[in-house]
Amino acid sequence: MKTTLHFEDADGFYEHLLDAHAGLDRDQSELLNARLILLLANQVGDARVLRACVDAAAQGPGVTARPA
């Protein structure tokens, strides 16, 4: 799993992502995020890498772990 910046124009991507959410309600925004996650996961393709990414994201600030 790459943990250093590995894509072009990160600021441009972030701005585009925010623009995509403009005017959406919470449910629509969550659906957009879910679709984006699945599209990006398909691009990665490697199940081991995807699991590592999910685990890393789950350890991020503000994420409350759920009991197993």
Residues 23-55 have pLDDT tens digits of 999 999 999 999 999 999 999 999 999 999 999
Any idea what the Cα angle at residue 14 is, between residues 64 and 65, rounded to 5°?
A: 10
Residue 14 has pLDDT above 70, yes or no: yes
- pLDDT, residue 60, reads 77
Contact 3, 52 (CB under 8 A): no
pLDDT at 21: 97
Can you tell me the distance from the alpha carbon of 29 to that of 21, in angstroms, rounded to the nearest whole number?
A: 6
Give percent above pLDDT 70 in the chain: 94
pLDDT > 90 fraction of the chain, expressed in percent and rounded? 68
Alpha carbon distance 67, 53 (integer Å): 19
Q: What's the mean pLDDT in 1-10?
A: 86
